[in-house]
Amino acid sequence: MPKTFEQRVKETIAMHEKMKPIYDERPISGERIAIERKGLEPVEVIIYKPEDTLKKTPDPTITEKKALRTESRRPVLINMHGGAFIGGDAVLLDSFCRMISDRLQAVVFNVNYKKAPEHPFPYAIEEVYDTAVHIAMNADRYGIDAVRMAICGHSAGASIAEGVALLAKTKGTISFVCQVLVYPCSDLFTSLDVYDKSCSAEEVEGTKDFISLYCQNNDSRHLLASPLLAYEEELEGVCPAIFLTCELDSLRFAGEAYAKKLIDCGVPVTCRRFKGALHGFLEVNRPDYFFEDNRKSEEQSRLCKEAEKMILEQLQNFYCS
């Protein structure tokens, strides 16, 4: 007998309560901070600033022509992890954020956004947007250049990044030089098997399950949840986008369709499909990911390094332009 919505909510909340102390005890290279939101819960963030080790081991991919600025005002990356909107934690991308900070001399804000079902759509998007506004408005405190601010997300985190980028375009309070979307969920409304006929029934139902926990008010078709389904005028003028998709991933079809739609709207887009890559390869094949997972392999790890290189090069180009 299928579980009721109430049973699934109860089980997911129990999982959050079990995992939180485990994540909180994980060693990290950044600093945990809390950013206040008026009348709402503080935002949990891990902040990373460049370490002196970069001077001892310079990155050979950084050329003199594209030498990064080293003045006190540093570029910014706001990063969100994956986890199907209901799981995961910022600590699982600690090494990724440290790498970005050190190699690009950037300040990285790794946001541990609130999860569903306790905080359904659009809470996490608004939470990250408010965090970005706070960062931009407190540039002196953080020693950053708010004009060179980028946003990055992985899977569910990429869906949040898509929404934040569109919210920034609409509100006009802040702007991003680019959005980095790593295997994004660009359409939460349409069933996966509409895009991918080979998608298993188990995967289709599993996806519907976590989306129902995230989009609890029949709002999965909303612009900020499913930007692929937006009207062109709603997308025109959004910041440039960098897509990294996986060949062996049912989310690839909607992600690449969204990339094409942005191109049709005049938005600068770079998109690369990683041949042989599995969904989550950039997160799973990291030292921070302490779970057993059959997606861990030498080949997926190699692809992870290629993806890192692409992200570094793309961010470098936008930070130096």
What confidence tens digit (pLDDT) does each residue in 25-49 have?
999 999 999 999 999 999 999 999 9
Q: Which domains does the chain have, with CATH numbers?
A: 5-320 (3.40.50.1820)
pTM of the predicted model as reported, rounded to 2 decimal places = 0.93
Reduced to 3 states (helix: H, G, I; strand: E, B; else coil), residue 299 is helix
In which residue are the tokens 């199907």 written?
A: 84
What is the CB-side half-sphere exposure of residue 275 using CA atoms within 13 A? 0
Q: What's the pLDDT band for 65 if we cut at 50, 70, 90?
A: very low
Look at residue 168 in the predicted model and tell me its pLDDT.
98
Q: How confident is the model at residue 182 (pLDDT cuts 50, 70, 90)?
A: very high
pLDDT band at 63 (very low <50, low <70, confident <90, very high): very low
Reported as a single tens digit per residue, the pLDDT across 230-282 is: 999 999 999 999 999 999 999 999 999 999 999 999 999 999 999 999 999 99
Q: In this structure, which amino acid lies at residue 67?
A: A
Q: What is the mean pLDDT of the chain?
A: 92
| Predicted pLDDT at 283 | 97
Q: Tell me what the mean pLDDT of segment 181-196 comes to.
A: 93
CA 99 to CA 105: how far, in whole Å? 10
Res. 303: pLDDT tops 50: yes
Instruction: State the burial class of residue 298 (Cβ atoms within 10 Å of its Cβ: 0-12, 13-18, 19+).
Output: exposed
Is the per-residue pLDDT at 58 higher than 70?
no
Calculate mean pLDDT across residues 308-312. Answer: 98
Of the two residues 89 and 10, the one the predictor is more confident about is: 89
Q: Is the pLDDT of residue 69 over 60?
A: no
Query: Both tokens of residue 127?
Result: 């939470």
| DSSP bridge pairs for 273 | 245
Question: What per-residue confidence (pLDDT) applies to 59?
Answer: 52
Strand order through the sheet with 241-248: 31-37, 40-48, 107-112, 74-80, 144-154, 178-182, 241-248, 269-278
Which pLDDT score, from 0 to 100, does residue 71 have?
A: 56
- Polymer length in residues for the chain: 321
- 130 CB neighbour count, 10 Å cutoff: 18
Residue 277 pairs in a beta bridge with: none
pLDDT score recorded for residue 57 = 43
User: What is the pLDDT, as a whole number, of residue 240?
Assistant: 98
Residue 217 has pLDDT above 50, yes or no: yes
Q: How confident is the model at residue 55 (pLDDT cuts 50, 70, 90)?
A: very low
Please state, for a pLDDT cut of 90, what percent of the chain lies above it: 83
The four Cα atoms 55, 142, 168, 225 give a dihedral, to 10 degrees, of 80
